[in-house]
Amino acid sequence: MALYSEKVMDHFRNPRNVGAIEDADAVGEVGNAKCGDIMKIYMKIEDDTIVDVKFETFGCGSAIASSSMATELIKGKKLSEALTLTNKAVTEALDGLPAHKIHCSVLAEQAIKSALKNYYIKNNIEYDKTVLPDDIECAHCHEEE
């Protein structure tokens, strides 16, 4: 069996939704240069729906593939749906990731949550602090310290 699935390789070689959105309604960034992976996600939101989403990721192929797949999974979704996206769903959509690369899918989930929290705060919208805590960050990065 290959280390990476065809879907991982496709999203790494041909990432979807790459770039920045200059007038984004929401921006989330997670990661740590020391860890090696940094993800930044930009969203345009209209009527409680993510109408456009782009990402910039500095990291390995799994991080790029996870970012690409995560953006595909939330584009066109209601904010409440995007908020429920898990790293497991990202990993499954990619037909799996090696165990030592699962943190890349976690980073994608956390970047989305960070962007949604940014949106709620900028627009004075109440949100569940148990779902979007104050410290949305890369747990893997802290393991490395």
Catalytic residues: 35, 104
Give the pair of three-digit tokens for residue 97.
């990731």
Nearest to 109 by CA among 87, 138, 130: 87
What totals of helices (H) and strands (E) does the chain contain, helices first?
Answer: 6, 3
d(CA 141, CA 135): 13
d(CA 110, CA 85): 10
C-alpha dihedral over 57, 28, 91, 8, to 10 degrees?
-20
